Structure 1
Amino acid sequence: MIQLSRLNGSTFTLNALLIEQVESFPDTTITLVNGKKIVVLNSEEEVVEAITSYYKRIGLQRIHKETGDECE
C-alpha cells in the first residue's frame, strides 16, 4: 500500500498492485486495472518511487530480478 494526496490535500492509501499506469497531464493521473482514474498531487516520479519501494518491501522486486526481467 502507498500513501498519496488528493488534489484537495487529503491523504489516502492505495493498493499499488492495482495500478496499471501513471501519467502526467500535467496533473498526475493514476489508472487502475479496473479503468478507474485517480488524480493526485504527488508527482509522477514520487508515485513511481512509492510503487517501487512498496514492491521491494513485499519482495516483488526480487522476483523480477530472479526471473531475469529487466524492468524495475
Structure 2
Amino acid sequence: MIQLTRLNGDPFTLNAMMIEQIQSLPDTTLTLINGKKLVVKNPEQQVIELITNYYQSIGLQGSLKEGEASE
C-alpha cells in the first residue's frame, strides 16, 4: 500500500498492485486495472519511487546497490 494525496489535499492509501498506468497530463493520473482513473498531487517520479519501495518491501522486486549488476 502507498500513501498518496488527492488534488484537494486529502491523503489516501492505495494498493500499488492495482496501478496499471501512470501519466502526467500535466497532473499525475493513475489508471487502475479496473479502468478507474485517479488524479493525485504527487509527481509521477515520486509515485514510481513509492511503488518501487513497496514492491521491494514485500519481496516482489529485488534491490540492487549502485554499480551492482543482476545475473
What's the TM-score, normalizing by structure 1? 0.85
Question: Partner of 1:39 in structure 2?
Answer: 39
Structure 2 residue aligned with 1:49: 49
SS in 2 for 1:51: helix
CA RMSD, aligned part only? Answer: 1.1
Q: Is the helix fraction higher in 1 or 2?
A: 1
Which 5+ residue runs of structure 2 have no aligned equivalent? 63-69
Give the 4+ runs in structure 1 shifted more than 4 A: none
Number of paired residues?
A: 63
Aligned-pair identity in percent equals 65
Q: Give 1:20 shift.
A: 0.1
Alpha-carbon distance in structure 2 between the residues aligned to 1:49 and 1:22: 12
After TM superposition, the structure 1 = structure 2 runs for residues 1-72 of structure 1, keeping only pairs within 5 Å, are 1-62=1-62
CA distance in 2 between partners of 1:22 and 1:59 (Å): 22
